[in-house]
Amino acid sequence: MKFRTLFLLAVAQALVAMPLMAQPDAAGSRQCSLATLNGSYGFFGEAPASIYGTPLAVSGIIRFDGHGNLTGDSVDNVGGSGGSPVSGFSGTYTVSPDCTYSGAHTGEGGDTLHFVGKIAGEGMSQEMRFVVTDPGWVALGTVKKIPPGGCSLASLQGSYALFGQGLITAYDPAAPFAHVGTVTFDGAGNFVGSDTIMLNGTEVPDTFTGTYTVTQECQSSAEINSTAVGVIHELGWIVGTGESQEVRRIETDPLGFVFYDALRKQ
């Protein structure tokens, strides 16, 4: 009887202790630091409202040194005026233990923008969502890791799901634009595809062909010959690897378009 009582007490104590023992894993959270951001990342952002009085889209590369310093290059399209020349920026950043990012980026012209974001994931699945905190801006975006080994034409090969959205500012008032489709890359600089465009509430079928380039730092440009739109050009960066690979590009022609395309490996 005494043995049975001691055994039941031991079991009861173990059951009580189990939640307490698991508590650090359940309640504990990942700890971040400056070193959490280290290496090259591609980013994409859009601003429904900006100090320029018009929407804009931006794509670029940002390089974190793991010690609070950053450099990068970006291209933007303000109000449909076309892509600006790729320009550099530099700055500093902090990362708090709860994985909150704070950064200040100063462009070649001397203008500084301030960002706040949240880091999620690890390794090649790591990404950060951010907003711009300066007055007059409503801007948000995503930062994802670039393949550490670099890129080439062969980095884009096979079938990709395509979606994109934006505005045609050449219309008055500006007309919303969205599309979904499929793109197939041959790994040698060529692609074909088809998509369904919704332009200001009207469906427009479309097919396209084109050529693309890829740099070692994973910058990707495309010339697209569309049956619905004509010839347009886009520029962006490749992020992720394998099934998580994505390409985020913005339209760079001065045609009154402000939109981005996102391609995800199928």
Query: How would you write the pLDDT of the chain (266 residues) with one tens digit per residue?
Result: 443 443 333 434 443 343 333 333 344 578 999 999 999 999 999 998 888 888 999 999 999 999 999 999 999 999 999 988 899 999 999 999 999 999 999 999 899 999 999 999 999 999 999 999 999 999 999 999 999 999 999 999 999 999 999 999 999 999 999 999 999 999 999 999 999 999 999 999 999 999 999 999 999 999 999 999 999 999 999 999 998 999 999 999 999 999 999 999 99
Domain boundary among 113, 145, 177: 145
- CATH code at position 167: 2.40.160
**Residue-range definition of the domain harbouring residue 132:** 34-145
Q: What phi-psi label fits residue 209: left (phi over 0), alpha (psi between -120 and 50 degrees) or beta?
A: beta
Q: Model's pTM, two decimal places?
A: 0.86
- CATH code at position 112: 2.40.128.120
Domain boundary among 145, 178, 196: 145
Residues 80 and 111 in one domain: yes
